Amino acid sequence: MRASSSRERLNSAEDPKIHPRPLATTKHRALTTFDAKVLSFCYSGSMVSWNRFCTLWLLKCGFSPREVGLMKSLSLVGKLIAQPLWAGKADVGAPSDVLACSVLASVATLEALRRGTRAGFLLRHEGIGARPHQALWAVAALRIARSASSAASPVADGMVLTLARDGNEAWGRQRFWGSASWGLGSLFVGALIDRVGLEAGIFGSTYAVGFLLLAVLYFRVRPRWPAPEEDDVEAPLPTDVKKKAPRNLGAVVSHGLVALRRSQPLRLALGNACVFGTLVVVVDSILYMQLENELGVSRTTNGLATTIATFSSFPFFWHSNLLIRRYGHWRVLAGAQCILPFRLLLHSLVTKDNVSYLLPLAQLLHGPMFACWLSAAVELVATLAPPELVASSQSLLTMAYFTIGGCVGHLVWSAAFEAWGGRATYLVAACCSTIAALGFLAALPPHVRKRPKSPAVVPYPLVDDDVAPPNRQQP
């Protein structure tokens, strides 16, 4: 009797008419700061091989340092155009899908670049001819395509920043793992190149880490990243707007331009990023040309120089939040920029006789210089920009520092290195960085005495054009 009654209760509980079954939706645990660290580690690792050692590949293909710098500058033009498109698409859609598309396109264009330069590399490697290589503009076009396809770093930074804020952690603690990936990857790839050669070391490792990043995005991040519709449900509809239409790329771009026009501190921060990025090229790129051409060190030592610089940034990324809270964003930016002239002076003293101890000493200054500046700049720009433009605001910083600054820097300093050599280039760059630091300090006082203002006011909410103009908020 008891068995029959319990069976009846069980059947009634399973009866869909009495207790309808919930929809068959898969529940995933929310993303945490652990995912931010994994994403930062994998994305930075996917960029190490080519970004760090592409100069060596092109030099071995027969291109001169001036030609390598020119191609780097032209490739950054493609990135300048593509970055706001990637970032804007991420702000109006699913950032994980946008980042995955960028990784796939980056791998495909890098393979095209390998095929386009391989013949010249083999001829150069075998010593046939004086300087045989493919046409400069053909290789430059491939580099532009590759840079445009891999220009989604603001999307990754925006995703990491969002997860860090949700977990009440500083962005620098997530970027710490990206730096760890860059430093360890540089050492590993440098040793791998010495063992298996440039082609297998650069391209093979890039493809392997790229597919690992795709696996992380597809199986871990994408299923758990909140859809745009979920955000819309939580936000109440304004009473003075007919409806909340989906966001569109044109509105995102226009709001970013309005915020840039109205916020003088934002313009100062981005202008400082352009100047600082132009000068940092000397220690980020020209240094490795000097190590290869003038000092003749091994690729393992070449990669070890990057590892030392990267490891020096760990404590500053980890404690960046404490530094920013104590001194403020602007003071941290100014202090980091004042370190650059001293680092350039140290590099100008490096020779074949003292490279074993003076080069590591100079590279140790990378931590307080780069990690402090980048942590303060990322959080400052995110604070000054409208909150709905997370990826787009980071694209502004990336364009200013890496794209515009890198484009001008590679064009100018590669020509200077070819004409004057390493020592004179470092001394000229040290003078320029001193002038830039003094100029930034002169423009600094109005912003040091007060915290960043609330996000820039946009003229109307992110809505479609079918919302009546009278319902929009007027500036």
> Three-state SS across the chain?
CHHHHHHHHHHHHHCCCCCCCCCCCCCCCCCCHHHHHHHHHHHHHHHHHHHHHHHHHHHHCCCCHHHHHHHHHHHHHHHHHHHHHHHHHHHHCCHHHHHHHHHHHHHHHHHHHHHHHHHHHHHHHHCCCCCCCCCHHHHHHHHHHHHHHCCCHHHHHHHHHHHHHHCCCCHHHHHHHHHHHHHHHHHHHHHHHHHHCHHHHHHHHHHHHHHHHHHHHHHHHHHHCCCHHHHHHHCCCCCCCCCCCCCCHHHHHHHHHHHHHHCHHHHHHHHHHHHHHHHHHHHHHHHHHHHHHCCCCCHHHHHHHHHHHHHHCHHHHHCHHHHHHHHCHHHHHHHHHHHHHHHHHHHHCCCCCCHHHHHHHHHCCHHHHHHHHHHHHHHHHHHHCCCCCHHHHHHHHHHHHHHHHHHHHHHHHHHHHHHHCHHHHHHHHHHHHHHHHHHHHHHCHHHHCCCCCCCCCCCCCCCCCCCCHHHCCCC
Please, are residues 201 and 66 in contact by the beta-carbon 8 Å criterion? no
In order of 286, 291, 305, 356, 461, the CA distances from 353 in angstroms are: 20, 13, 16, 8, 62
Eight-class DSSP state of 471? G
Please, are residues 213 and 103 in contact by the beta-carbon 8 Å criterion? yes
Query: What phi and psi values does residue 241 have, to the nearest 5 degrees?
Result: -120, 135
The pLDDT assigned to 78 comes to 82
Tell me the torsion sign for CA atoms 289, 295, 300, 304.
negative
Please, are residues 198 and 53 in contact by the beta-carbon 8 Å criterion? yes
Structural domains of the chain sorted by starting position, each given as residue range(s) with its CATH number in brackets: 32-224+249-454 (1.20.1250.20)
Please, are residues 74 and 143 in contact by the beta-carbon 8 Å criterion? yes
Evaluate if pTM is beyond 0.85.
Answer: no
> Which among 145, 151, 149, 122 is positioned nearest to 134, based on CA atoms?
122
Residue type, 454: S
C-alpha 296: how far from chain center: 30
Please, are residues 473 and 380 in contact by the beta-carbon 8 Å criterion? no
The pLDDT assigned to 258 comes to 65
Q: Which two tokens stand for residue 448?
A: 């040091």
> Which among 333, 364, 366 is positioned nearest to 440, based on CA atoms?
333
Q: Which two tokens stand for residue 401?
A: 């520092």
The pLDDT assigned to 7 comes to 52
The pLDDT assigned to 69 comes to 83
Please, are residues 364 and 306 in contact by the beta-carbon 8 Å criterion? no
Q: Residue ranges of the chain with pLDDT lower than 70?
A: 1-29, 120-134, 227-259, 386-392, 445-475
- Rounded Cα distance between 473 and 475, Å, is 7
